[in-house]
Amino acid sequence: MAELIDFIIISGILVAVGIYGLVVKRNAIRMLISIEIIANAANLSLVAFSRNLPNAQGQVFALFSIAIAAAEVAVGLGLIIVAYRLYKEIDVAEFRSMRG
């Protein structure tokens, strides 16, 4: 049976992969996926700690977090589509002209 430390190690690895994706990749869609990986690592930690405690508050909070992450992805993809229509590119470094 998996212990709490196993889930925490996997969660830490997911956070590291997500931060690597944010720092290295300049593609907007890859950056959005990296943010989702970090959010899923946090959800894994919540569920793992809730599993070891006698209450289910962490699991309920993880469900709310998943719902908020789904809304965030919808807004993020909408912004990426608008930026692609305007600039014909989704490279984040090319969005500097959006500054006011």
Q: What pLDDT, in 10s, does the model give residues 32-83?
A: 899 999 999 999 999 999 988 888 888 899 999 999 999 999 998 898 888 8
Q: Spell out the SS3 assignment of 19-76.
A: HHHHHHCCEHHHHHHHHHHHHHHHHHHHHHHHHHCCCCHHHHHHHHHHHHHHHHHHHH
Give the Cα separation of 20 and 24 in Å (integer).
6
State the CATH number of the domain containing residue 15.
1.10.287.3510
- Determine the pLDDT at residue 2: 80
State the amino acid at position 96 in one-letter form: R
Domain extent, residue 51, equals 4-89
Q: Which two tokens stand for residue 69?
A: 């992450």
Model confidence over 12-46: pLDDT tens digits? Answer: 999 999 999 999 978 888 888 999 999 999 999 99
User: Considering its fold, how many domains does the chain have in total?
Assistant: 1
At residue 95 the predicted structure's pLDDT band, cuts being 50, 70 and 90, is low
Whether residue 100 is contained in a domain is answered as: no
